Amino acid sequence: MRYISALLLGISHAVAYKSATNPITISTAAANSKAVPPDWARIQCTDGGILPTPTYGDSGSIFTACAQLVIDAPVEQVYNAIIDFGSYPKWNSFVPLVKPRDGAVLSDVRAGLPMTFHSAGLAPFGLNTTTDERVTVLDLPSYPRPASALVVWRFDPALGATLIQAEHPNILTHLHNGSTRYISYETYYSLGSVAVQLLEEAKLKKQFVQQGHDLKAYVERMSA
């Protein structure tokens, strides 16, 4: 999720970055858009550190907003909550609404799914903002108790695609007590992201942390 000032694009457009009671089942083989690095689950938030993403790596990165916590529920339950985009109004105070684009259906979760995120807490005067996003990676191993899972989407603007680039991995790792380590971050790339960093980095980090706590409360309530 992200807030991007469209003054950078020369238009008056404020842009912004980012279960399931009925879990959604995804075929890993069909869903993966890129191979997940073997050490992906080892990534953790670091204070001020920049983290790589599947599409862009770390070349040209400007900054990362990251949140990390432990959710007392299995990996697959957290995964299903994240990809159940239609249920975001039930729990997500950062991204309270997700709408499909280009004739897509939100319940048809797949790599390439185009969406519009309606985000809160970034723009002034309490206004919600929107960004177009596209799912890039879905990885939930098919064996009975997955050790890790990965859900990723990226900023997918109609204009200015090279001016600001950003991608948002959600890394879920099984812990020995049956809980899940949740790491959710977004890394920004290209020169236009310098303005985003100056204007919105602190707000983004705050909202990422809040989103993590929202997800934790929702999933733990559903699995109780």
Question: CA angle, corner 204, sides to 132 and 185, nearest 5?
Answer: 75
Query: Residue 140 has which token pair?
Result: 């939930």
Per-residue pLDDT tens, the chain, 224 aa: give them: 444 433 333 322 333 333 333 333 333 333 333 444 547 888 999 988 999 999 999 899 999 999 999 999 999 999 999 999 999 999 999 999 999 999 999 999 999 999 999 999 998 878 889 999 999 999 998 777 778 999 999 999 987 667 899 999 999 999 999 999 999 999 999 989 999 999 999 999 999 999 999 999 999 999 88
Dihedral (Cα; 156, 160, 162, 164), 10-degree rounding: -70
CA distances from 69 to 119, 210, 215 (A): 21, 11, 10
Q: What is the pTM of this model?
A: 0.83
* 133 within 8 A of 164, measured Cβ to Cβ: no
Which domains, and CATH codes, for the chain? 4-223 (3.30.530.20)
